[in-house]
Amino acid sequence: MTPSPQVPAPAPSPDELAALRRRYARERERRVRPDGPRQYVGADADFGFYAADPYAGGPAVREPVRDGVDVAVVGGGFGGVLAGARLRARGVERIRVIDKGGDFGGTWYWNRYPGVHCDIESHVYLPMLDETGYVPEWKYAPGEEIRQHAMRIARRHDLYADALFSTTVTELTWEESSRGWRVETDRGDSFLARYVITATGTMTEPKLPAIPGIEDFEGHTFHTSRWDYSYTGGTPQGGLTGLADKRVGVVGTGATGVQVIPMLAEDAGHLYVFQRTPSTVDVRANRRTTAADVGADREGWARARRDNFLRIVSGEEYEEDLVADGWTSSAGLLEKLLPSFRRPADREAFEAAYEAADAAKMNEVRARVGRTVTDPRTAEMLTPWYRYACKRPTFSDTYYQAFNRTDVTLVDTADTHGIERVTRRGVVVAGTEYALDCLILATGFSVGISGVSSGRLPVHGRDGVPLLHAWARHGVRTLHGFTCNGFPNLIHMGSLQNASSVNFTHVLDEQAVHAAALVAAAEAEGALVEPSREAEDAWLAAIAEGAPDHEWFHAECTPGYYNREGAGRPGGPTAYPHGAVAFHELLRRWREESLHEALSRPAARGTARG
């Protein structure tokens, strides 16, 4: 088995811990902005060009669709593809996946920037490896391989035939008389689906910093999720020859920035990296793997590996660490954000041990910067001063090295809360203008601005009741996060009121299996997929009980999307408090014993059922 790439660091002394606490508080203060989440604008209206699809190849105009299907799946990322595959396995015939992108792949359709990879091990991230017989050749797969895998699953389950691409669903309306949903789109489609599954993703809309003057910039500009290869030249593997004589600025040093910056450094005439908060950049150690390395000759090998990874990162007991990487070795630190139920009774001792382990890990990351970056001032700017779980960890073996190049300049923007101003010619930080030919935004995605909860996809249930009105009046109410009373045959996939994990494709696959089982049960019984209000109440009580209090932890973190840019998380239980492994087990048991609780019969409409 591959040994863990982590180097253990010595435990910090009490004085050191106290100094760290003070330093973390100072660094947070430097970064908190009064406008919090309002500092961003969406890629629409005047900024709509940032969201335009540079990869679409389909016809600009097509005949609107006006037929009927068994299931409409909104979203063609892994969620939608897996829903389609699992429905097919249940014998469902007409499945129509609709996606804004020009093909399947979701996030991997959009994110094709140079260097794009998944930093979750490919053998656990790529779903349905057992079923497809596909064995990735790298520990961390490039984005294109992942996109091709989504397309492979779609082809294998015949999802292309009825799919609608470059199409946005604009409205869903329940039609009682036909016991189905009217689905309308921005391409004039209007068709009936007996069931609708929403698999719209959690971070899909590019987020732009509302920097004063950004609209005045006269150079070239785009967001990393809409890479303009017609300008840069090259491919996701590099060779960006179009940038050879260009002054390129990149804003953002999160998981995307960390992957794209070394590639830009390689090819740009001069690269300016505008950083606000440095990421923790840990060892990646990507390498070729053989089928034998991952035991791919054994029946069910991928499922076993995926389950093993989920157990470790969910803080469950395990015998062996099959993946053995930065995620599994730091699982205990990320567990801070997971259930409190496993914490020992002596909370103080737990907190002290946690803080010491956290500081040791962060010291290890900080030491890596010092060891790799030759200029001490640049090294100091790249050094992260916060707790490990405050921001999404990143992994790279080329990132820090990029800053040793003479054609790369790191510009720290922490003291000015980000870039101050954009001019016609470039970017201003602390009064200095950096002239640029091209400004690339690696500024991430709006959280929760997609799908039904965003309001961008209006849903009208029974008696025309809008879903968001119902939730505004009574709070978000679901059974297991999937279904809602008053909205029959509508099944949500995503991260609302269920349990999530860093290996999101695993979570999505479990959800797809569950969604397909709900549809199959309704078909078999001539019923509707719709929980009673009592079943929703019971689920709300279950997720409220033991909900962990992480607010204090996030309150001490530097701002970012984990803590709503320092404004704190919205209140109320949003997830099952016992973690993803327990949640999947709960769903499995529930499918065997209590599936009827998710069904209603037309005659029993609105009545309580047990």
Q: Closest CB to ligand NAP among 390 and 598?
A: 390
Q: Which is nearer to ligand NAP, 221 or 413 (CB)?
A: 413
CB of 24 to ligand NAP, least distance (A): 14
By C-alpha distance, which of 37, 124, 27, 125 is closest to 362?
27
Instruction: Indicate the residue among 478 and 505 with the shorter CB distance to ligand NAP.
Output: 505
Shortest separation between residue 250's beta carbon and ligand NAP, angstroms: 9
Q: Where are the alpha helices (DSSP H) in 406-490?
A: 467-474
Assigned token pair, 322 = 């099959």
Minimum distance from CB of 253 to ligand NAP (Å)?
A: 4
Which position has the token pair 């509508």? Answer: 490
Give the Cα separation of 504 and 92 in Å (integer): 25
At its nearest, how many Å lie between ligand NAP and the CB of residue 331? 16
Please say which residue, 136 or 486, places its beta carbon nearer to ligand NAP: 136
By beta-carbon proximity to ligand NAP, the closer residue of 30 and 152 is 30
Closest distance of CB 442 from ligand NAP, Å: 6
Instruction: List, as one string, the DSSP characters of 317-384.
Output: --S--SS-SHHHHTHHHHGGGS-STTS-S-HHHHHHHHHHHHHHHHHHHHHHHHHH-SSHHHHHHH--
Categorise residue 430: left if φ over 0, alpha if ψ from -120 to 50, beta otherwise. Answer: left
Residue 169, helix vs strand vs coil: strand
CB of 254 to ligand NAP, least distance (A): 3
Partner residues linked to 191 by β-bridges? 183
| DSSP tag of 464 | G
Comparison of 123 and 480: residue with beta carbon closer to ligand NAP? 123
In the complex with ligand NAP, the residue whose CB is nearer, 343 or 564, is 564
Least Å from the CB of residue 495 to ligand NAP: 12
Rounded distance, CA 44 to CA 586, Å?
40
Identity of the residue, 393 or 577, whose beta carbon is nearer to ligand NAP in the bound complex: 393
Distances (CA, A) of 459 to 172, 452, 488, 589: 5, 7, 11, 30
Of 211 and 516, which CB lies nearer to ligand NAP in the complex structure?
211
**H and E: helices and strands count for the chain:** 19, 22
Q: Please name the residues in contact with 505: beta carbons below 8 A apart, sequence gap of 6 or more.
A: 78, 82, 125, 126, 127
Please say which residue, 378 or 478, places its beta carbon nearer to ligand NAP: 378
Q: Are strands 205-209 and 445-446 parallel, antiparallel or unpaired?
A: antiparallel
d(CA 312, CA 57): 41
The arrangement of strands across the sheet holding 270-275 comes to 220-223, 438-441, 247-251, 270-275, 408-412
Q: Minimum distance from CB of 551 to ligand NAP (Å)?
A: 19
DSSP 8-class letter at 447 = T
Cβ neighbours around 48 below 10 Å, total? 10
Q: Could you write out the three-class secondary structure of 207-258?
A: EEECCCCHHHCCCEEEEHHHCCHHHHCCECCECCHHHCCCEEEEECCCHHHH
Give the H or E element holding residue 586: helix 579-593
Least distance (Å) from ligand NAP to the CB of residue 277? 3
Which positions lie near ligand NAP, rule CB under 6 A? Answer: 31, 117-120, 203, 209, 211, 251-257, 259, 274, 276-277, 392, 413, 418-419, 442-445, 559-561
CB of 531 or CB of 560, closer to ligand NAP: 560
Nearer to ligand NAP, 164 or 324 (CB): 324
